């Protein structure tokens, strides 16, 4: 039976990384489900308070880093708040349209349109769109790194 539980934990960890490509899959929630399966089904004793505190802190960092990266790059490249919001919606919508490429193409098109509606020049719109893309990519890079740290810490803790 342990094999089934371990396979389920591994599936949760894989889903966490798939959540980077398909944002409708809550990455960090999938990680926590894997942690909880181990803790409440398999472990004879608590993994440790330090582990749970560290996972909570890393979860907060993971969520905040994504928001901060997107906001930082859109602002740095002259994008508007509307462009920033449209980019977030575009990532979600894009994950359903031509996945996984839609998460890059759809926000790119939508941010250009949003910025043009804000009376920006085409060059300014492209610059803001580039900022949105950089924010998305850097946020996803941060997610990957933090999720790897969380998984490695989990295996060290057990």
Q: Express each pLDDT in 3-51 by its tens digit.
A: 999 999 999 999 999 988 887 788 999 999 999 999 999 888 889 999 9
- pLDDT of 66 over the 80 cut: no
Q: Which residue has the higher pLDDT, 66 or 33?
A: 33
Rounded CA separation 136/69 (Å): 7
How confident is the model over 135-157, as a mean pLDDT? 93
Model pTM? 0.82
Cβ atoms within 10 Å of 33's Cβ, excluding its own: 18
Helix intervals (H) in the chain: 2-21, 27-37, 49-76, 81-94, 102-117, 122-157
Cβ burial, residue 59 (10 Å; 0-12/13-18/19+): middle
- With a cut of 90, say whether residue 154 has pLDDT above it: yes
Q: What is the pLDDT of residue 20?
A: 87
Identify whether the C-beta of residue 84 lies closer than 8 Å to the C-beta of residue 74. yes
The Cα–Cα gap between 39 and 17 comes to 21
Whether 71 has a pLDDT exceeding 80, the answer reads no
User: Is 82's pLDDT higher than 80?
Assistant: yes
Residue 103, both tokens? 């998460």
- CB-based burial label for 64 (10 Å; 0-12, 13-18, 19+): exposed
Q: What is the mean pLDDT of the chain?
A: 88
Lowest mean pLDDT among 1-10, 99-108, 127-136: 99-108
**Domain map (residue ranges) of the chain:** 47-157
Q: What is the mean pLDDT of residues 100-106?
A: 82
């Amino acid at each position: 039976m342990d094999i089934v539980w371990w396979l389920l934990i591994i599936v949760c960890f894989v889903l966490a990384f798939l959540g980077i490509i398909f944002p409708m899959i809550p990455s960090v929630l999938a990680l926590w489900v894997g942690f909880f399966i181990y803790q409440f089904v398999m472990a004879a004793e608590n993994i440790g308070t330090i582990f749970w505190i560290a996972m909570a802190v890393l979860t907060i960092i993971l969520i905040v880093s994504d928001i901060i990266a997107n906001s930082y790059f859109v602002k740095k490249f002259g994008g508007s708040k509307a462009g920033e919001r449209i980019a977030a919606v575009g990532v979600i919508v894009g994950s359903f349209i031509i996945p996984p490429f839609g998460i890059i193409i759809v926000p790119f098109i939508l941010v250009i349109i949003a910025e043009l509606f804000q009376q920006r020049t085409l060059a300014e719109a492209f610059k803001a769109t580039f900022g949105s893309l950089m924010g998305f990519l850097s946020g996803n890079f941060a997610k990957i790194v933090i999720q790897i740290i969380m998984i490695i810490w989990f295996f060290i803790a057990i």
